[in-house]
Amino acid sequence: MPELDDAALGRVRRRVETCWDRGALDTAVMALLKEAIDEAGEDWDRKAHRLRVLAGAAGRGLPGIWRRHNPDDPSALLLHAWSDLVQAGRQGAGIDLDATRETCRRAAELLPADPTPWTLYLAVLRLERRPSGELSAIWREIKSRDPWNREAHLQALGYLSPDECGSSSQVLDLLDSVRSAMPPNAPAAGLELTALVRSHQRAMTPGGVTALGAGEFWRRPDAVPVLDHAAHYWTSPGFLHHAQALADLNVLAYALIKAARPGDAAQALRATGGVATPWPWSADGEPLERFSHHFARAAASA
């Protein structure tokens, strides 16, 4: 369920998916979209989560129609921009990202306290592989509004990774810059573990000697304390309370399995309540099948 445990969002997502027929969009659905986005208020993590899910459900046509009907509605602008990013991320999608940047700027004018337009702007820079010098000013705008914004930190992690515009040393610089100050249960608390899992998956990709040594990865001195802390705290009821906490618990469960810690992995899997996310399980095959396999074993060991 892309909405994870956000039941209200799930109801809107299903309505959006079933109502869209040959470009027709009734006002009731537009009202539902607006309510779902605006209801998040200043919970910026939940707002980003809802925008991401609704952009994935709506495709490109629906947000464009909503925006044409409400050209100065900031929620319509944000959904339109996020929809552009979803479509641009798909191979061969022809999206005018200059127009998307203008949409982000307009939304930022209408929502001066909201980090979301700036986070989307960062995502545009990432897609375009823009020089890292352009990132700094946008990053300052985000951090001044929401220092531990989960979506922004993950976008920055992707941008700075050796797979995209950066390097392993730049990823380490990002982690060093936030490690000591970030609250342990902040929305971006999963940043370092996410970076480790991505690094582990890169090590596994080539095969051969590199992959054979990947089993030692989770015994490295930089990995052990991160995994120990997350395994100890994250599964406690209510410790993680941000909108995408279940996504971070999926990452934790995957890492614990790779680290050959079945007891801790079972506890993390049970904490997900059986809600799977595509990544990181997709690295090992069909994600729902992989998650279900491990979840069944965790349930049996309870």
Nearest in space to 143 (alpha carbons), one of 100, 188, 184: 188
pLDDT > 90? residue 241: yes
Q: Is the pLDDT of residue 302 over 70?
A: no
- In whole angstroms, give the CA distance from residue 284 to residue 249: 17
Number of CB atoms found within 10 A of residue 114's CB: 18
- Res 270 pLDDT > 80: yes
Tokens of 98: 């200059």
pLDDT at 20 over 80: no
Residue 21's beta-bridge partner residues?
24
Q: What is the CATH code of the structural domain delimited by 1-182?
A: 1.25.40.10
- Cα–Cα distance between 302 and 276 in angstroms, integer? 19
In angstroms, the CA 223 to CA 4 distance is 27
Give residue 110's pLDDT: 97
Lowest mean pLDDT among 30-44, 50-64, 225-239, 262-276: 50-64
**Residue 97 scores a pLDDT above 60:** yes
Domain ranges of the chain: 1-182, 189-302
Determine the average pLDDT of the residues in 200-210.
Answer: 76
Looking at per-residue pLDDT, the higher value among 92 and 108 belongs to 108
Residue 296: predicted pLDDT: 92
Average confidence (pLDDT) over 256-285: 95
pTM above 0.75, yes or no: yes
How much is the average pLDDT of 105-121? 98
Could you count the other beta carbons within 10 Å of the beta carbon of residue 211?
12
Question: Which one has a higher pLDDT value, 40 or 166?
Answer: 40
Q: Residue 238 has what pLDDT?
A: 92
pLDDT, position 18: 83
What does the pLDDT read at residue 210? 65
Which of the four pLDDT bands, split at 50, 70 and 90, describes residue 21? low
Residues 6 or more apart in contact with residue 28 via CB below 8 angstroms: none
30-67 tens-digit pLDDT: 889 999 999 999 999 999 999 999 999 987 788 888 99
pLDDT at position 300, please? 81
Mean pLDDT, residues 98-124: 97
CA dihedral sign, ordered 171, 168, 251, 83? positive
